[in-house]
Amino acid sequence: MDTATQRKWDAASQNFDLFSYGDDKRLGPHKRRLFAKIRGETLMVAAGTGNDFRFFPPGHSIIAIDISARMLERAAKKAATYPGTIDLRQMDVCQLEFGNNTFDTVVTACTFCSVPKPVAGLGELYRVLKPGGQILMFEHVRSRIGPLGVFLDLMTPLSRRLGPDLNRDTVGNMQKAGFRIRREENVYLDIIKAIEGVKDPSAPTA
């Protein structure tokens, strides 16, 4: 397991809910609309403190992982209030302990701004998805608008110390990992996006 990343998010867990309060209120309806597409066996990556559980449609059985034990401790209370089942497990997305072709849906929310090796992590998600399975991602990415992109590049060395990178090309990384982009939607400027990818049914089963 990536212990440096683990320590960083253990530390961030203390104030995570405070810093994400506005985002949760503002972006919640967009997340709820995206996550309404959850179907079948579902894996959530980077559960955090469980703030996004409330945006899941009721009645599903979801496995939610996070690299940080502290985050999962905080998530446990919120998981208990979900009208379905959420099974919390500590795991690194780059070393998933699931077999090939296990899940129908993978969900992420502001996850791949923080995974140190995003293509490797997405490759693992591709591996555990069944052919025809979908990945639903609510992520912030590098802007393609000139000055905003440069600003996000400049801020990333600072933001990385406390939390996420701000200049990830997550759509490109998904494609590198093998996903086909089904839908890409701008939620705020071209920075916050709802992205849907699929593992094509014709993909070879590993």
Partner 1 sequence: MIFAIGDYLAGMLVGAATALAVRMVVWPGMDMVLAMIVGMALGMLVHLVLGLALGPLIGMFEAMIPASLIGMYGGMFFGMRDSMAAGSRTLQAGLAVGAIFGAIVVAGVRFYDRTLRGAVVDTGD
* 175 near partner 1 (CB under 8 A): no
* 37 near partner 1 (CB under 8 A): no
Neighbours of 113 (CB within 10 A): 22
Please identify, using beta-carbon distances, which residue of 84 and 132 lies nearer to partner 1.
132
How is residue 103 written in tokens?
A: 């899940």
* 27 near partner 1 (CB under 8 A): yes
CA gap 97, 116 in Å, rounded = 18
Among 10, 153, 169, 184, binds partner 1 (CB under 8 A): 184
CA gap 37, 76 in Å, rounded = 24
Amino acid at 172: G
Q: Which stretch binds partner 1 (CB under 8 A): 6-14, 21-29, 77-85, 88-96?
A: 21-29
CA gap 11, 176 in Å, rounded = 31
Q: Closest Cα to residue 164, out of 3, 1, 5, 2?
A: 5
Question: What mask, x for binding partner 1 by CB under 8 A, covers residues 81 to 120?
Answer: ----------------------------------------
* 23 near partner 1 (CB under 8 A): yes
Interaction with partner 1 in 122-161: which residues (CB under 8 A)?
140, 147-148, 151, 155
CA gap 10, 196 in Å, rounded = 29
CA angle 127, 194, 27 (to 5 degrees): 130
* 183 near partner 1 (CB under 8 A): yes
Q: What share of the chain is helix, strand, coil (3-state, %, to 5)?
A: 40, 25, 35
* 191 near partner 1 (CB under 8 A): yes
Nearest distance from residue 147's CB to partner 1, in Å? Answer: 7
Among 11, 119, 120, 181, binds partner 1 (CB under 8 A): 181
Per CB under 8 A, residues contacting partner 1 are: 18-23, 25-27, 140, 147-148, 151, 155, 180-192, 198
